[in-house]
Structure 1
Amino acid sequence: MDVYRQLKADLQRGHFAPGTPLKQSEIAQHYGVSRIPVRDALARLKSEGWLTGHGKRGVAVPLFDPQEAEDLYLMRMRLEPLLLKLAAPNLNGEQLGRARDILDELEGPSALDAAEIGRLNWLFHTCLYRAAARPTLFNTVEQLQRQCERYIGYQNRHLDYQTTSQREHYQLLELLQQRESEKACALLEHHIAAAGRVLVAHFRSIRD
């Protein structure tokens, strides 16, 4: 078993509530593995923002922080349209077709869980962004995406935002196919900002 992938998927599905401490021994018993892969998985997930420090050497599922969510979407709404602007002139029919296939998979008849929706959403954006051939900028955006995954998973589970996200993804693809790159970048900025504002407002409302 790949403990890292399984635990990450379970975190994204909300199987462990925010604020829950995670002990190596309990996680090892839960997944039926030794403590060594659990230790490595916990350390990796902590470095990616899925877990936070707890006590002297422990970890816990972090609480949702509206300010962190806001910072993440503010950075994404600046960097991702820039990356798309650099990618747009290089996008060809094969790359755009692959991106559409991913969107169609998200529309498929079978119900997808939050982890799979998040994976496919990022795969869609990856199809577009890699055409920029800007590895440093791409890696920065990818790191932001990793930090956003638990928020995106929550949004898909609790705020029913996937329908809106899909509609805007298809609109974005149409603009790119029509070579309307400026409009596509503006739509992407709106796409990220609108979702971010909804999420931040939700977290602030349940905290107050």
Structure 2
Amino acid sequence: MNKAELYLQIRDDIRRRFWPQGQPLKQQALADYYQTSRIPVRDALARLAAEGWLVSAGKASLMIPPLSAAEAQELCLIRQQLEPLALRLAIPQLNFAILGAAEDCLRAAAQAGADPLRHGELNWQFHQLLYQPCAMPTLLQLLQQLHLKVEMYLGFQQVSLGYAAQSAAEHQQLLQLLRDDQPELAVALLQRHIAEAAAALQQHLALV
């Protein structure tokens, strides 16, 4: 695989928690596993570190940072500000086609099993469809970057904490409120959806 493909594969394996958190990643071990040389592995790890997927483990090595209750709370506070804003601005432009595509994402998520990567992708697709009509490119770009940071937590939450059913039910309720032209209730539900999910995750992380 080329450098770009290697970067994406390592990133996806991090998102799936294939590599252990809190332990140094050995370049040679990764090169052997991905059947490549150490140079593209080094470059991929450097890019992942620059994007926040990896942190220093001392002696020029890198590791996947453990999940943090403090970081989960910080990400939640940011989401609570930006996502309701995007939804509120997008609501006047939402139509049946967009809401139907969002419904398709929920159906696909119901069939995705316990794969946290797939759930994370479909979760973002669902929210992105609802936020896209806000027509604010910088806000949408920030939300996409935020989603990449949040994704490991979302996968952990849905699979390890058994949160997938509650999340799916709240997504369905959100769609129904949008179809029923109840924008304020929809925005309030989104805020509550983010806050309650984060509270459950923070409580769990504080105990481990």
Distance 2:147 2:50 in 1: 13
| Alignment pair present for 1:126 and 2:128 | yes
Deviation of 1:12 (Å): 2.0
Deviation of 1:56 (Å): 4.1
Distance 2:126 2:96 in 1: 14
Describe the superposition over 1:175-198 as per-residue Cα deviations: whole angstroms up to 9, x where unpaired.
Answer: 111121111110000011100010
| Alignment pair present for 1:73 and 2:76 | yes
Distance 1:47 1:172 in 2: 35
Give the structure, 1 or 2, with the largest relative contact order (CA under 8 Å, sep 6 or more). 1
Q: Which amino acid aligns with 2:90?
A: A
| Alignment pair present for 1:175 and 2:180 | no
The question of whether the paired residues in 2 share the 8 Å contact of 1:52 and 1:59 is answered with yes
The question of whether the paired residues in 1 share the 8 Å contact of 2:87 and 2:134 is answered with yes
The question of whether the paired residues in 2 share the 8 Å contact of 1:48 and 1:146 is answered with no
Describe the superposition over 1:88-124 as per-residue Cα deviations: whole angstroms up to 9, x where unpaired.
Answer: 101111111111111111112x525110110011011
Which deviates more, 150-159 or 68-77? 150-159
The question of whether the paired residues in 1 share the 8 Å contact of 2:114 and 2:159 is answered with no
Deviation of 1:35 (Å): 2.5
Distance 1:86 1:40 in 2: 39
| 1:53 aligned counterpart, secondary structure | strand
| Alignment pair present for 1:87 and 2:84 | no
| 1:50 aligned counterpart, secondary structure | coil
Give TM-score scaled by structure 1 length: 0.93
The residue correspondences of 1:151-162 to structure 2 (distance < 5 A) are 151-162=153-164
Distance 1:148 1:3 in 2: 22
Deviating runs (4+, > 3 A) in structure 1? Answer: none
How many residue pairs are counted as aligned between the two chains? 205
| 2:56 aligned counterpart, secondary structure | strand
| 2:62 aligned counterpart, secondary structure | strand
| Alignment pair present for 1:26 and 2:29 | yes
| 2:162 aligned counterpart, secondary structure | coil
The question of whether the paired residues in 2 share the 8 Å contact of 1:14 and 1:154 is answered with no
Describe the superposition over 1:139-168 as per-residue Cα deviations: whole angstroms up to 9, x where unpaired.
Answer: 112221111111112112211111111110
| 1:139 aligned counterpart, secondary structure | helix
Distance 1:107 1:204 in 2: 29
| 1:196 aligned counterpart, secondary structure | helix
| 1:111 aligned counterpart, secondary structure | coil
Determine what percentage of the aligned residue pairs are the same residue. 44
The question of whether the paired residues in 1 share the 8 Å contact of 2:24 and 2:62 is answered with yes
| Alignment pair present for 1:99 and 2:99 | no
* Runs of at least 5 residues in structure 2 that lack an aligned partner in the other structure: none
Partner of 2:52: 49
Distance 2:169 2:47 in 1: 34
Give TM-score scaled by structure 2 length: 0.93
The question of whether the paired residues in 2 share the 8 Å contact of 1:175 and 1:183 is answered with yes
- Structure 1 112/199 Cα, relative in aligned 2: closer, same or farther at 3 Å? closer
Distance 2:167 2:87 in 1: 17
Distance 1:157 1:182 in 2: 30
